[in-house]
């Protein structure tokens, strides 16, 4: 019954789409129900090797325009029968896109091209083809935003300038179909919607909303104005009358040996921390002449496991109470301080008034992107003169697909994988692994990794592990800020005894090694941390 209802709804959506296509308010629409050949022209330029495909959206019978290969540049364009004016009333730009394989680095935006120069052909479309508006998601590295860029002609210079929307919304991070809408209003307002929900409202003529602003500043700093040589911008200066105290020792070290420390009882002075692996044997194919003299790999000395430490014992270091560091004179107010110098303002020769943007018409719709991901699907590209038309398309073509995908995603998030981790927990562990790589936590990286690995094996202790890692971070920050030396300690979970039945066949032996968590011991009678060997 549910499947029949869905088919009925999709049929209704197709019917609605046909109705809208005939509507005067619909300037352009492509549902990609039919192959795109003939309507969309793939660029012939050498840079664009990515292959476009007419493909179904995953889990649906609905077709779209698919980015089919990774790490490629793509360019494709559709020339409109008639240019669409952006100066008359409202204009709505809308399209759907889906990152079926996720999006780590790549663009999925559209370029709305202005009329090209004489002799231009669709097969020449590239990143230099002039556009009126660029709109859509882009994510890579620090970039994560839904672009809205207007190319506007400066009425004084005649040059086209890119004006970027300030503080644009971010890109949804899931693999669902999302619909992006830009509504250009006759009162100079632009509204950005994602999935029908307004995420940003801006005014084309406001310097607070676009960078650079469409209307230049009335005044500018005088480029010929120079700072006087005697201009003093220093608010504070070293006190010229200050003298270093006689008892100030600049050469005193920051740390000294703790003379009160005593070697722990049972310390094994004559035992090395590591020994040759007694079970290791020289490989039969080892050639001393070519491979050099064979040496057995090292393992942790088992005698050191129960002892407080092995090898030469050294007193731990402690903060030197006599340490003061390099002396410097205290700062006082500068009697000659004049403030931060700025050039004087002069009238801007490029200033002009503007009541409305001088929009260029849209003559073609193009997709020109570079992406490291495949599986990006474009669908239901629309240019309309009425936002009600765009709303109807969202209700009939986008929403049914989105609801199906959302329910499927919800079921996957609630279920657990074979390793017992939910989707949410996987994301948490991904973040924790990144935390372990933070440079100032490098001393505790192994400790943090051990905690994460325990939580992956026992998902029910995830919250406790997060708290433990936070304790480590806060303690390290406290030490950095206040110079303390106490090391954070994380309580060990009781080890769960495990038994394994090893079966060997044809001389093969299955081995499993466990890494043991070690804590740094400090304070009086503390032992230096034993070096941990990476395997």
Whole-Å CA distances, 127 to 68, 106, 370: 20, 15, 10
DSSP codes of every residue in 37-65: BTTBEE---TT--PPEEEEEPTTSS-EEE
**pLDDT value for 457:** 66
Domains contained in the chain, CATH given: 20-221+355-407 (2.60.120.200), 420-479 (no CATH)
Q: By the 8 A CB rule, do 214 and 190 touch? A: no
**pLDDT value for 393:** 96
Could you write out the three-class secondary structure of 488-502?
CCCCCCCCCCCCCCC
Going by C-alpha positions, the residue among 28, 17, 134 that lies closest to residue 81 is 28
**pLDDT value for 383:** 98
Spatial CB neighbours of 433, under 8 Å, sequence gap ≥ 6: 449, 452
**pLDDT value for 356:** 94
**pLDDT value for 119:** 85
Structure tokens at 467: 């708290």
What backbone torsions phi and psi does residue 218 show, to the nearest 5 degrees?
-70, -35
State the chain's maximal CA–CA distance in angstroms.
93
Ordered per-residue pLDDT tens for the chain, 535 residues: 444 444 444 444 444 444 444 457 899 999 999 999 999 999 999 999 999 999 999 999 999 999 999 999 999 999 999 999 999 899 999 999 999 998 889 999 999 999 999 889 999 999 999 999 999 999 998 899 999 999 999 998 889 999 999 999 999 989 999 999 999 999 999 999 999 999 999 999 999 999 999 999 999 999 999 999 999 999 999 999 999 999 999 999 999 999 999 999 999 999 999 999 999 999 989 988 888 999 999 999 999 999 999 999 999 999 999 999 999 999 999 999 999 999 999 999 889 999 999 999 999 999 999 999 899 999 999 999 999 999 999 999 999 999 999 998 888 877 755 455 556 667 777 787 778 778 777 778 788 887 887 776 666 677 777 888 888 888 877 777 765 444 444 444 434 333 333 333 333 433 444 444 444 434 333 333 333 334 3
Q: Write down the pTM of the prediction.
A: 0.61
């Amino acid at each position: 019954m549910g499947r029949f209802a869905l088919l009925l709804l999709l049929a209704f959506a197709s019917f609605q789409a046909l109705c809208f296509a005939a509507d005067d308010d619909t300037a352009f629409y492509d549902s990609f129900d039919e192959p795109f050949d003939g309507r969309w022209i793939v660029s012939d330029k050498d840079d664009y090797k990515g292959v476009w495909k007419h493909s179904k959206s995953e889990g649906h019978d609905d077709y779209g325009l698919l980015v089919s290969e990774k790490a490629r540049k793509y360019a494709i364009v559709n020339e409109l029968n008639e240019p669409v004016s952006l100066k008359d009333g409202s204009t709505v730009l809308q399209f759907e896109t889906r990152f079926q394989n996720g999006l780590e680095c790549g663009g999925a935006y559209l370029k709305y091209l202005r009329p090209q120069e004489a002799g231009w052909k669709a097969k020449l479309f590239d990143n230099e083809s002039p556009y009126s508006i660029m709109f859509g998601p882009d994510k890579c590295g620090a970039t994560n935003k839904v672009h809205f860029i207007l190319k506007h002609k400066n009425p004084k210079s005649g040059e086209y300038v890119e004006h970027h929307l300030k503080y644009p919304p971010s890109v949804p991070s899931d693999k669902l179909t999302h619909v992006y809408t830009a509504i250009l209003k006759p009162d100079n307002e632009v509204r950005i919607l994602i999935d029908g929900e307004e995420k940003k409202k801006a005014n084309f003529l406001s310097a607070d909303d676009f960078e650079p602003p469409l209307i230049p500043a009335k005044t500018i700093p005088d480029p010929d104005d120079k700072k006087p040589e005697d201009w003093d911008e220093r608010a504070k200066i070293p006190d010229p009358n200050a003298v270093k105290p006689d008892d100030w020792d600049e050469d005193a070290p920051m740390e000294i040996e703790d003379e009160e420390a005593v070697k722990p009882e049972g310390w094994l002075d004559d035992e090395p921390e590591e020994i040759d692996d007694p079970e290791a044997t020289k490989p039969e194919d080892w050639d001393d002449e070519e491979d050099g003299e064979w040496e057995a790999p090292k393992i942790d000395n088992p005698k050191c496991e129960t002892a407080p430490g092995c090898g030469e014992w050294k007193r731990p270091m402690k903060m030197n109470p006599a340490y003061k560091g390099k002396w410097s004179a205290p700062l006082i107010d500068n009697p000659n301080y004049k403030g931060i110098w700025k050039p004087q303002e002069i009238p801007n020769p490029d200033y002009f008034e503007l009541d409305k943007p001088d929009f260029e018409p849209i003559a073609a719709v193009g997709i020109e992107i570079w992406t490291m991901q495949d599986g990006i699907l474009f669908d239901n590209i629309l240019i309309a003169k009425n936002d009600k038309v765009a709303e109807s398309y969202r209700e009939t073509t986008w929403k049914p697909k989105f609801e199906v995908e959302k329910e499927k995603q919800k079921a996957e998030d609630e279920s657990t994988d074979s390793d017992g981790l939910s989707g949410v927990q996987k994301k948490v562990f991904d973040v924790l692994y990144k935390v372990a790589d933070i440079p100032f936590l490098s001393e505790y990286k192994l400790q943090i990794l051990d905690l994460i690995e325990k939580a992956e094996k026992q998902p029910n202790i995830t919250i406790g592990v997060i708290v433990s890692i936070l304790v480590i971070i806060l303690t390290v920050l406290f030490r950095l800020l206040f110079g303390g030396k106490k090391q954070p300690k994380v309580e060990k979970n009781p080890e769960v005894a495990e038994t394994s039945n090893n079966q060997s066949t044809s001389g093969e032996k299955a081995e499993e090694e466990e890494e043991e968590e070690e804590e740094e011991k400090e304070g009086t009678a503390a032992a230096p941390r034993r070096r941990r060997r990476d395997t």
